[in-house]
Amino acid sequence: MRSFKFSLSKTSRIILILLVINIAAFSATKSIADKYSPPNTIENENKNLNYIEKGWQIVNWSYNLLKYFKKPNTG
């Protein structure tokens, strides 16, 4: 019976290692932030939703501004 060898190129190994480090750093940072952050209240949740809504309004405004200044196709 043959043994199964799984080898990655050097670039793939580096990307995989960086991905694992990134996930570990994110989870550690999130757990520390959750530990020291104030508890979520309804007011905080409404504020977060309001931020999301304002963010989408800015994205839409930026996109419309881009379309306005984009040169028309003169095919």
Measured distance CA(36)–CA(34) in Å, rounded: 6
What confidence category does residue 69 fall into, taking pLDDT thresholds of 50, 70 and 90? confident
**pLDDT value at position 45?**
67
Mean pLDDT of the chain: 80
Q: pLDDT tens across 12-48, in order? A: 899 999 999 999 999 999 888 888 877 766 666 677 6
Domain ranges of the chain: 9-38, 42-75
Q: Which of 26, 29, 27, 47 is nearest to 37 (CA)?
A: 29
Global confidence as pTM: 0.44
Measured distance CA(33)–CA(64) in Å, rounded: 36
